Copies of this chain bind each other. A is one copy, B any other.
Amino acid sequence: MAFHKKEEFTQREQDLANFARAIAHPARIAILKVLAQRNECICGEIVEILPLAQSTVSQHLKELKNAGLIDGSVDGPKSCYCINWRAFEKFNAEFSTLFTSLKIKNEKACC
């Protein structure tokens, strides 16, 4: 027993990992690209652009929303999604502070 011991790691590590998992699929990156380029609320068009079934796209949107990467408001038969830029900033900052500070000090590869 005892599988997936993700809870053994720090919250920070888990948060970053969750963020990464959210963008760890080309379909979700493609969705984010569409949302970023339009920078407005859309949904139906995404289904037409992606080579995936409507239900699958909806599921990816749900995951992106759960991860906080996009905001969405359901409005009856129409939904409205758009990028949560603040979340991306937060991720970028988190990601940078983890590694970049040390990178500057030591550029050389040791392997």
A110 in contact (CB, < 8 A):
yes
Instruction: Tell me whether A103 and B84 are in contact (CB under 8 A).
Output: no
Question: In the complex the two chains form, what is the Cα distance from A4 to B89 in whole Å?
Answer: 30
Distance, CA A74 to CA B73, complexed state (A): 52
A48 at the interface (CB under 8 A from B): no
Decide: A30 and B13 in contact? CB cutoff 8 A.
yes
Contact call B13/A17, Cβ cutoff below 8 A: no
Q: Interface residue count for A (Cβ, 8 Å)?
A: 53
CB contacts under 8 Å to B, within A78-96, are 80-85, 88-89, 92, 95-96
Tell whether A27 pairs with B9 under 8 Å between CB atoms, given A109-B71, A111-B73.
yes
Counting CB contacts under 8 A, is A16 at the interface?
Answer: yes
Q: A36-B102, A73-B111, A110-B41 are in contact. Are A29 and B51 (CB under 8 A)?
A: no
Please determine whether A72 and B111 come into contact, CB atoms closer than 8 angstroms: yes
State A84–B106 Cα separation when bound (angstroms).
12
Quick one: which of B14, B21, B23, B99 contacts A83, CB cutoff 8 A? B99
